[in-house]
Structure formats: structure tokens, C-alpha cells
Amino acid sequence: MKKLSLAKLYDFFAAIAAKEALYLPVNNEVGKAEYKRWSEGVELSHQLNTLRSAKDFFFPQTENLMEFKMEGKKIDIIDTREACDDFVIFGVRACDAASFDILDRVYLVDPVDSYYKNRREHGTVITHACGKPAETCFCGTFGIDAADPKGDITVWDVEDGYVFRANTEKGEKLMAATADLFEDTDDKAVKAEQDKVREILAKMPLADLTTEGVGAGLTKEVFDRPEWASLSESCLGCGTCTFVCPTCQCYDIRDFDTGHGIQRFRCWDSCMYSDFTKMSAGQPRPTQLERFRQRFMHKLVYFPDNNDGVFGCVGCGRCLSRCPISMNIVKVMKTLAKGGNK
Ligand code: SF4
Ligand code: SF4
């Protein structure tokens, strides 16, 4: 493990930014943390998490896929893909870091999504262990340790600085390139910080939330639960929960006539929308109840069913604080549990 003094944090940022783009959480004009490219004078936000997740770096909200031009019956396809430059994301929390594993299970399996893969290969993730978890956090329900996040490098706040641990080859390379800023340290301060955070987590309101009643192999049982009607009754179908979610991965593909050719792009979509997956034969999920059920069945049953029991939620709590009608995955899990979750 290596230690960086408080005074050297911005030297570390400058050393990275001299070679590649560095993004970190920064407070915006309304005081919310959002990722921004670092340059001299930009200050790291000390908020727990960003408004939008770090998923945007690998799966952006919109992106061009290709262009094509048509002349009579001839179609020229123009490959607009560009090799991604290396970049570093600093300050990713344990939940968002775990969301990358979930997205990898979707986009890096055959057929591999080359756009996503390109960014994953060029991005280095520096995670920041949580010091003060929020009441909406429940990453522990899914086996994620907020005090020991994954990533290429993990950083902990300690009394007089930061302790860094490289976890991957990419992380070791970055640490080696900035080695003169660090000094050797043991894991004593990190262990004390972890004990403190785990103690806080154990007292959090959602500390006892379990996955009882959901999970792999329960499709029929959960799908047929009558409670979906009351749970979905007030859902506005606004899609906010899907857009802030680090693990939601649905998109739409459309063509846009620029006047000089056709641009094919994709953009995030939401299973909560009435036109999602609409086909010429109609909408396969015509009611909000069916759409609502789809979102939670996917995260809590279908995804673990197809991914060795891994759930499609990382307990980041964003949907808990953003839904305009205060509906969220925790309420769904508590309702579906058979007497376990209070
Ligand atoms: S469902 Fe909610 S708590 Fe779970 S990862 Fe998505 S936004 Fe976070
Ligand atoms: S659950 Fe809430 S945030 Fe999600 S679509 Fe319904 S009203 Fe919107």
C-alpha cells in the first residue's frame, strides 16, 4: 500500500492529467456532484456519490454508431468508430464500480459490443472507499463492500492523507508512473477506516434488507405475485429511475437524416416507457403494471437467473432519492419478501 499526503492530492491529479484525461466528481452550479474533466483549479467534490453514475464513461447516453450514404440502390457504410484515448476516472464508489461488472456481463459477452469494449479497455478506474454511507445505501445486500471497493486502484481517506492500493496491472502502471508522490505504508490506517465504516453501515436503515423472495429460479412465482398491481399503481412511467441507475442498460437505435447522409445513433431507453420495444405488431407490455414489473423482474429475477445469481442492482440508492412518487426497488423487495424485510 502507498500513502499520498493531503497536500499532494492535486499533484497526483496534475500528473495524470498531463498524460491522459482525468475525470472526477465535482460540485455543479446547484451543488450536485457530477463527473467533470479535471484541469488546474477544479476541485474534487466530497459528496458521497454523483447525481448520474459513472456508467456514462463506458455506455454514454447518446453515441453515433455509423453513417451511411445512399445513391440509387448503392449504400456506402462509413465506419465512424475511433480508437478511444486512455482516460482515468477518479472517485468511483463501490456500488458504481460493481455496476461495471454487471454491464460487462451484458456488453462483453458474444456478440461483444465493440463501442463499450473500446472504452472499457482504455479506462482506468480509481475507486474511493465510502467514509460516510447514506441512509439510502444498501450495496451490502448484494455483497458489495463499501469499505473495500474494486477498481484498478482503491483509495481510502485516512487521517492525514490517502492510502492507495493497486488492484490490477492498469492500476500498477498508473501508480508506477506517479511513484515519486507516494511513500510506503502498512494497512493499519485502512483497517481502522474500514472498521469505522462497517460499523456505520451496520446501523443504517437498510442494513437488514435481504434478497429473500427474489433471485434466480423464481420467475413464475414472482411474476404472478398480485402485489405488482398496487406497487405499480402510481408509477408515472417517467423513466427517471432507469436514467439514474448505474446498471440499466437498455437503448434504442435510430437513424437521422442529416441531409448529407444517414447517421445511425443509439441512446438510452427505458423499459418504463410506453413505446419501449414497440413493434409493428404492437406493444408487448401495454400497461404500466407490465412495464414496471419488467424492470424489477429483470434486476431481481431474470438477471440473476442468467448470470450465476448476480443481481442487476448494486444498491446505490439513486432511485430511492430520485423517484417523484417515492417508489423504488427497496419497496419492491420488501413487498416481495415473505416476512423477512421490515
Ligand atoms: S435499481 Fe436503484 S438502487 Fe439499484 S442500482 Fe439501480 S438506481 Fe441503484
Ligand atoms: S418508478 Fe418512479 S422514477 Fe421509475 S418510472 Fe415510475 S415514477 Fe418514474
For residues 109-123, one letter each, b for 16 or more C-beta atoms within 10 angstroms of the residue's C-beta and e for the rest, the string is eeeebebbeebbebb
Residue 339 is predicted with a pLDDT of 56
pLDDT tens-digit map of 183-214: 999 999 999 999 999 999 999 999 999 999 99
E-assigned strand segments in the chain: 2-5, 21-27, 33-37, 62-71, 74-78, 87-92, 123-128, 153-158, 161-166, 183-184, 251-257, 262-268
Atom of ligand 1 minimally distant from the CA of 138: 3
Helix H or strand E segment including 16: helix 9-17
Residue 75 is predicted with a pLDDT of 92
Residue 72 is predicted with a pLDDT of 87
Residue 288 is predicted with a pLDDT of 97
Q: Give the residue ranges of the chain where pLDDT is below 70.
A: 339-342
pLDDT tens-digit map of 87-107: 999 999 999 999 999 999 999
Handedness of CA 49, 318, 170, 65 (dihedral sign): negative
Ligand 1 centroid from CA 314, angstroms: 6
Helix (H, G, I), strand (E, B) or coil at 148: coil
Burial of 93 (0-12, 13-18, 19+ CB in 10 A): buried
How far is Cα 62 from Cα 249, in angstroms, rounded to an integer?
12
Is-contact 218 152, C-beta < 8 A? no
Mutation to probe ligand 1, out of 93, 319, 328 (largest number of atoms < 8 A from CB): 319
Atom of ligand 2 minimally distant from the CA of 319: 3
Residue 83 is predicted with a pLDDT of 84
Ligand 1 centroid from CA 242, angstroms: 8
DSSP assignments along 206-271, one per residue: TTT---TT-STT-HHHHHT-TTHHHHHTT-----HHHHH-SS---EEEEEEE-SSSEEEEEEE--T
How far is Cα 287 from Cα 239, in angstroms, rounded to an integer?
15
Q: Give the other-Cβ count within 10 Å of 151's Cβ.
A: 27
Residue 338 is predicted with a pLDDT of 73
Residue 70 is predicted with a pLDDT of 86
* Beta carbon of 274 within 6 Å of any ligand 2 atom: no
Sequence length of the chain is: 342
How far is Cα 103 from Cα 50, in angstroms, rounded to an integer?
18
**Ligand 1 environment, Cβ below 6 A:** 244-247, 299, 313-319, 329
Residue from 314, 316, 317 nearest 98 by CA: 314
DSSP code of residue 287: S
Mutation to probe ligand 2, out of 271, 318, 320, 323 (largest number of atoms < 8 A from CB): 323
Residue type, 128: H
Is-contact 122 86, C-beta < 8 A? yes
Rounded to two decimals, the pTM is 0.95
Mutation to probe ligand 2, out of 327, 331, 333 (largest number of atoms < 8 A from CB): 327
Residue 82 is predicted with a pLDDT of 85
**Nearest protein Cα to ligand 1, atom 7:** 245
Residue 43 is predicted with a pLDDT of 97
Helix (H, G, I), strand (E, B) or coil at 165: strand
